[in-house]
Structure 1
Amino acid sequence: MKQCNLNLEEEGVKRKLQLQELEEIRNEAHENATIYKDKSKIFHDQQVSRKAFVVGEKVILYHSRLKLFPVEIQNLKMEKKFVVNGHRLKPYYEGFSVKKVEVIHLKDLIYLV
């Protein structure tokens, strides 16, 4: 060591400073990642549509094995109740009003060129 002109105390202080700088960089990266995750979660939560179901309302159920948002439903034909994932339910709309439809035949159209 003496041949290389190295002072162990000075080098030790420099090494400690380098380690402290590395720790600060790591902490800053961790804070930035946390901020990014929070912003991403807020954006995602805004995009997710909230569903509110009323007792007695008809719904369509897609095949589901997950139980993330448990909802108890009952089949109209059977009295059996079971729990399903609420994210897989969609409201069932029935009884759309039928309006009078006007029919236009293509042969009656006049083409302007």
Structure 2
Amino acid sequence: MRMNAYESSKIYKQKIKAYHDKKLQRQNSQPGQQVLLFNSRLRLFPGKLKSKWSGPFVIKEVRPHGFVELVDPTTHTPEKRWIVNGERLKIYNGGQLERLTSVVYLNNP
């Protein structure tokens, strides 16, 4: 009975892995493409409503095993390049980002 449980568990894990791998989509990144970078370090974003996506950045080079070299287009210095995991990127299809801030003053009743 124990061997049957091990075998059924092994079959279940293989089916779940096949299903999960089928749902994954490969991201085709080319140099010169604009992307947004997911920043998972919460200490950099102390506010609740701030976005965790920063950018847009430009892809400088695509390296093996899913690593991507990014360049910040606002600073045109070669020192501002870094290598990140390609899974942390999302393709940016828009134009310029609009950074709007609004201040709402509350009146005492």
Q: Say if 1:70 and 1:84, in contact at 8 Å, map to a contact too.
A: yes
1:89 and 2:96 aligned: no
Q: Conserved in 2, the CA contact under 8 Å of 1:73 and 1:84?
A: yes
TM-score by length of 2: 0.54
Match of 1:70 among 67, 70, 76: 67
In structure 2, what is the equivalent of residue 43 of structure 1?
19
Q: Distance in 2 between matches of 1:53 and 1:69?
A: 9
Contact kept, 8 Å, 1:64 with 1:88, in 2: the verdict is no
| Letter paired with 1:47 | K
* Alignment partner of 1:61 is 2:58: no
- Return 5+ residue gaps in structure 2 as ranges: 42-64, 96-109
Pick one of 30, 52, 70 that aligns with 2:28: 52
CA shift, 1:94, in A, is 3.0
When residues 27 and 48 of structure 1 are mapped into structure 2, their CA distance, relative to the original with a 3 A threshold, is: same
Does the Cα contact within 8 Å between 1:61 and 1:89 map onto a contact in 2? yes
- Report the CA distance between 1:91 and its aligned residue: 0.7
CA distance in structure 2 between the aligned counterparts of 1:92 and 1:81, rounded to whole angstroms:
18
- Counterpart-to-counterpart distance in 2, 1:28 and 1:73: 50
- Give ranges in structure 1 of 5+ residues lacking alignment: 1-24, 96-113
Between Structure 1 and Structure 2, the one with more helix by share is 1
- Aligned residues between the structures: 69
The structure number with the bigger radius of gyration is: 1
Root-mean-square deviation over aligned CA pairs: 2.2
Q: Which amino acid aligns with 2:72?
A: N
Matched-pair contact (CA < 8 Å) for 1:64–1:85:
no
**Which gives a bigger RCO, structure 1 or 2 (Cα 8 Å, sep 6+)?**
2
Report runs of 4+ in structure 1 exceeding 3 Å deviation.
Answer: none
Q: Which has the higher strand share?
A: 2
